[in-house]
Amino acid sequence: MIPLRDANPTRRRPVLTIALIAACFAVFGLELWIQAGGGDEALETFVRDHGAVPAAISHALAVRDYFSDATLGLVTSMFLHGSWVHVLGNMLYLWIFGNNIEDRLGRVGFAAFYFAGGLIAGLTQVAVDPASQVPLVGASGAIAATLGAYLVLFPAARIESIVFLGFFYQLMRVPAVIVLGFWFVLQLLDGIASLGATTTGGGVAFFAHIGGFAFGAVVAVLVRSLGGRLATRAGPGGVG
């Protein structure tokens, strides 16, 4: 199942979502330029310097060096991507689901939520595989947080998706709770399977996705609860 767009209009232009997408494409362009000029070795050095390396982060946290280059990689890694498929897939999901979360939280709120979600996602992966020397790259942890929030805040929103039926496919409008619930279950199953595997499932940080999604869902529950209380206070007979 591949989502293409949602039928969930926003009230204002998603400036921050657009800026994040533009930044990710710009950094990916920089990666291609580095690779073209210095080859794969130069690109690998760049990714290692700016990606999130679990072993280095684990060491920094152990010695309480919370603002080291290693921990900074938890932020910079959100703008790095490993391939065209990686960046295009992530940006598609960010565009479909991010604009509504930005609309709900506001630009400042969404910025804080997005980067916090990315940090939680990265730290979840580090906690599961603290000795890994493989750099984590990609915005998928922060985007997973966005998906978790969308599932809670807009469960009935219709998502136009490509649904595969054996060798055939069909365009269908599917409720967000099914699209995103299906996505999360896949991440959970793949994450559990990866625990006993000798390889890392093609380099996919499943537990970053799981941690980010859970964070986003929890924040959205709090936002919805707070919004309901404010509406009650401001309603008929309320203090507002």
Q: Which residue(s) pair with 175 in the sheet?
A: 158
| pLDDT tens digit sequence for 60-82 | 999 999 999 999 999 999 999 99
Confidence at residue 232, expressed as pLDDT on a 0 to 100 scale: 43
3-state secondary structure the chain: CEEEEECCCCCCCCHHHHHHHHHHHHHHHHHHHHHHHHHHHHHHHHHHHHCECHHHHHHHHHCCCCCCHHHHHHHHHHHCCCCHHHHHHHHHHHHHHHHHHHHHHCHHHHHHHHHHHHHHHHHHHHHHCCCCCCCECCCHHHHHHHHHHHHHHCCCCEEEEEEEECCEEEEEEEEHHHHHHHHHHHHHHHHHHHHCCCCCCCCCCHHHHHHHHHHHHHHHHHHHHHHHHHHHHHCCCCCC
Residue 202's pLDDT is what?
A: 54
Q: Is the predicted pLDDT of residue 40 greater than 70, yes or no?
A: yes
Q: How high does pLDDT run on average in the chain?
A: 91
pLDDT the model gives residue 198: 54
The domain locations on the chain are: 13-157+204-234
pLDDT (0 to 100) of residue 228: 55
| CA angle, 93 then 126 then 149, to 5° | 35
CA dist., res. 223 & res. 199, Å (int): 38
**Are 185 and 118 spatial neighbours (Cβ–Cβ below 8 Å)?**
no
| CATH code assigned to 13-157+204-234 | 1.20.1540.10
